[in-house]
Structure formats: structure tokens, C-alpha cells
């Protein structure tokens, strides 16, 4: 039984070690994708405003600016791991609006056809945000670096 416990402990140690690179990969990939999509909106605001108006979104220009800014700035912060657990909240809100407007059939199919819901564009973005919201940005992030600096400063005093 001791050998089994030792194997299990090693397995957990390997998984713990893999957590930081996994969270880094999630943040880099999805944060980068948010930046690209947000920047695309920022640089094409008239087109995005018209699209938002066609969806019946109120104040289409203001909401296009807001969504583009949240995606670009939020994506960048997610990418570097700064304010990660805070920035995922507005990103998730933007994704919720996307589901409620452009992906309404997928949203309605949540209980009847989950495959349609999970195939919608916002789904994986939302999963990435939820991973970072619930587990944090990991040790390879600006948030972790700041926390480390604060700990060292507190220990020095």
C-alpha cells in the first residue's frame, strides 16, 4: 500500500507541476484570440456598429466600442495574467451577450441539443475564462509575480 501511495503522490506532483504551463497556454491562446477579435472590432467600428444595430442591440455604437475595448484590453490582461480573475467577469458578460444575440438558437438548444450549444463560437472562450476565473492565472503570470514581490516585501519588514 505504501508503494501505491508513493506512486499516487508522484502522479499528483506531476499534475501540480503541469498546472502552471497549462494555465499559461490557456491564457496565451485565448487571451491572444480575444485581443485579435477585439482589435478587429476596434478597427472596424462602423461595420460592427451596423452589425450590432441589425441585431437590435441598444446603443449599437456605444456597445460596439465597449465590447471591442473589453475584448482587446481584457484579452491583453488575460494574456499576461494581470487582474486575471477580475477581467474574466466582463469577458464572460460579453460572451453572454454574444450567446443572447448571435447564438440564440444555440442558447435555446442548451438542454435539448447540447452539441449545438458547445459548437457555438463563444463556448470555448467562455470555458477558458471560467478556467482562469476558478483556478487563477497560475504561477507563470504577472499576478503571481506581484504576489511574490508582496510576500518578499512583507517578509523583509
Domain layout of the chain by residue ranges: 2-156
100 contacts: CB under 8 Å, gap ≥ 6: 107
Q: How many CB atoms lie within 10 A of CB 64?
A: 23
pLDDT tens sequence across 108-156: 888 899 999 999 999 999 999 999 999 999 999 999 999 999 998 888 8
> 3-class secondary structure for 21-47?
HHHHHHHHHHHHHHHHHHHHHHCCHHH
Give the three cell numbers for residue 139.
Answer: 504561477
Its pTM stands at 0.91
77 contacts: CB under 8 Å, gap ≥ 6: 31, 83, 84, 87
Give the three cell numbers for residue 33.
Answer: 484570440
pLDDT tens sequence across 62-71: 999 999 999 9
CA dist 24 → 48, 84, 111, 133, 140 (Å): 31, 12, 32, 13, 6
pLDDT tens sequence across 21-50: 999 999 999 999 999 999 999 999 999 999
Amino acid at each position: 500500500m505504501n508503494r501505491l501511495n508513493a506512486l499516487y503522490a508522484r502522479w499528483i506532483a506531476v499534475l501540480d507541476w503541469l498546472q502552471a504551463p497549462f494555465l499559461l497556454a490557456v491564457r496565451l491562446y485565448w487571451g491572444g484570440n480575444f485581443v485579435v477579435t477585439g482589435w478587429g472590432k476596434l478597427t472596424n467600428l462602423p461595420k460592427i456598429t451596423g452589425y450590432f444595430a441589425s441585431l437590435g442591440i441598444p446603443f449599437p455604437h456605444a456597445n460596439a466600442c465597449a465590447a471591442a475595448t473589453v475584448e482587446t484590453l481584457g484579452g491583453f490582461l488575460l494574456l499576461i495574467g494581470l487582474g486575471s480573475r477580475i477581467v474574466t467577469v466582463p469577458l464572460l458578460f460579453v460572451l453572454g451577450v454574444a450567446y443572447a444575440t448571435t447564438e440564440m438558437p444555440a442558447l435555446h438548444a442548451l438542454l435539448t441539443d447540447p452539441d449545438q450549444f458547445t459548437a457555438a463560437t463563444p463556448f470555448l472562450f467562455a470555458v477558458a475564462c471560467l478556467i482562469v476565473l476558478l483556478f487563477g492565472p497560475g504561477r507563470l503570470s504577472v499576478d503571481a509575480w506581484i504576489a511574490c514581490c508582496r510576500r518578499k516585501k512583507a517578509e523583509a519588514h
